[in-house]
Amino acid sequence: MQNNLQELSLILNEMSTDEGTTFEAVFVDDEILEVTCSNNDEFSIHVVMTEKQILTVTPLFSADEVPKEKVNELNSLLLRVSPAVPLSSVGLQDNNYILFGAMSVNTTIENISHELEVQAENTIDVLETISPLLK
Amino acid sequence: MSILKDLFKAIKGGVSEVGESVVDANLIRILEQDIRDDSNAINKAKQSLTQLKGTEIGLKRKIDSLTTDITDYEAKTVEALDAGKEDLAIQVAEKIADLESEKDILFTEHTALAKEVLQLNKMIKTRSSNLEKGKRELEKIKTVEQLQKTTASINKNFASTKSSGNRVADSLARAKKKQQEWKDNQKAGDWMEEEESSSDLDKKLSEEGIGGKKTSANDILERLKNKNKS
């Protein structure tokens, strides 16, 4: 698994997609690869692997950044937004709102890189939609 | 068994605090043990199946050879009777009876064996389906586990930037700005390309003497000379 992540980081650092996106992949932990996409270098993506899946996680904001009276409105908006977002979904991880994607470990590098660049783009879209509800 | 509800136990008025303990080590151990048990059972069953199949083939061969022998002796009995040797015919008939009872025994064994093979196959199927289910459940746990590992690094990320009030808004503004710059650069690139290709065209046209032909001093002199003549 770790070997696969290492392989992925090597390829990502060298490649560029059809849309011209490039990647900077750095290990922040033995098992966590942090990928910054050139189309959105403000919100990086954490990539982890299980035996079967590649999981891509973009931390959006902490629940502490949402005013208490807006929590319900925000959650309901996110639930409605999520199906409209291509390839990524919105979720809660611990106390943090995240955007995430999941792929089979057998996914080709073209699809992985595409998924990453789309997720980077989605991050901006989703945050723009909900940012009026943040502190 | 569904692991998901154990991973995220809903409590009245909300979901329980999801902390480090969300993935119960015991749960993983039990599940991994189940998976090991299932694959061991499947392996054993497959081994038995091979042995049983070997025995079955052996039995079948014996039954076949007994059938041939019986047919053979039957023909011989008829021959003995035809030759009027009744005593001999009775002896052969007794031999046939022995062979037939032996064949019956083997046949019963063979039927029991076939039943056992069927049961083993059924067992392998059930265990395999259990195994796959178990693996899927384990994958859910591993997913939550891996996701949780990102939490620490995410929290660190947020903690370092929390002091600034509008963290998301600021980052978003910067990201949008870069996105706009990128688009502008791309537009500039497109414009440059177009400009270059159109100037190429002008060059080609003028080389061919079409369109904006530059007037040279000689041309002017020529024109003035002509004017004087007329």
- The residue ranges of every structural domain in chain A are 2-133
What mean pLDDT do residues A63-72 have? 92
Q: B149 contacts in A (CB within 8 Å)?
A: 29, 31-32, 48
Residue A1 sits at the chain B interface (C-beta within 8 Å)? no
CATH of A2-133, one of 1.20.1440.230, 3.30.1460.10, 3.30.390.30, 3.30.470.20: 3.30.1460.10
Question: Kind of pairing, strands A53-62 and A40-49?
Answer: antiparallel
Q: B165 contacts in A (CB within 8 Å)?
A: 135
What pLDDT is stored for residue B19 in this prediction?
47
Nearest to A55 among B147, B152, B175 (CB): B147
Give CA separation, A30 vs A4, A6, B168, B199, in Å.
12, 9, 28, 55
Q: What does the CA dihedral B54, B55, B58, B59 come to, rounded to 10 degrees?
A: -150
Contact A46 B146 (CB under 8 A): no
Spatial distance between the Cα atoms of B70 and B29, rounded to a whole number of angstroms: 60
Per-residue pLDDT tens for B141-161? 888 888 888 887 777 767 666
Q: Write the DSSP string, B22-64.
A: GS-HHHHHHHHHHHHHHHHHHHHHHHHHHHHHHHHHHHHHHHH
Q: Write the DSSP string, B72-133.
A: HHHHHHHHHHHTT-HHHHHHHHHHHHHHHHHHHHHHHHHHHHHHHHHHHHHHHHHHHHHHHH
What pLDDT is stored for residue A7 in this prediction?
93
Q: B177 contacts in A (CB within 8 Å)?
A: none
ipTM above 0.90, yes or no: no
In CATH terms, the fold of domain B4-8+23-150 is Helix Hairpins (1.10.287)
Per-residue pLDDT tens for B179-218? 888 888 888 888 888 888 877 877 788 778 777 656 678 8
Counted across chains A and B, CB pairs separated by less than 8 A come out at: 96
Contact A61 B154 (CB under 8 A): no
Nearest to A96 among B19, B146, B154 (CB): B154
| Kind plus residue range of the DSSP H or E element containing B216 | none
Nearest to B167 among A32, A53, A65 (CB): A65
- Sign for the CA dihedral angle at B191, B196, B202, B205 comes to negative
To test the contact with chain B by mutation, choose from A5, A40, A42, A64 the residue with the greatest count of B C-beta atoms within 10 A, namely: A42
What pLDDT is stored for residue B23 in this prediction?
64
Per-residue pLDDT tens for B18-49? 544 556 778 788 889 999 999 999 999 999 99
Spatial distance between the Cα atoms of A56 and A7, rounded to a whole number of angstroms: 16
Alpha helices in chain A (DSSP H): 2-14, 71-81, 109-130
What pLDDT is stored for residue B39 in this prediction?
94
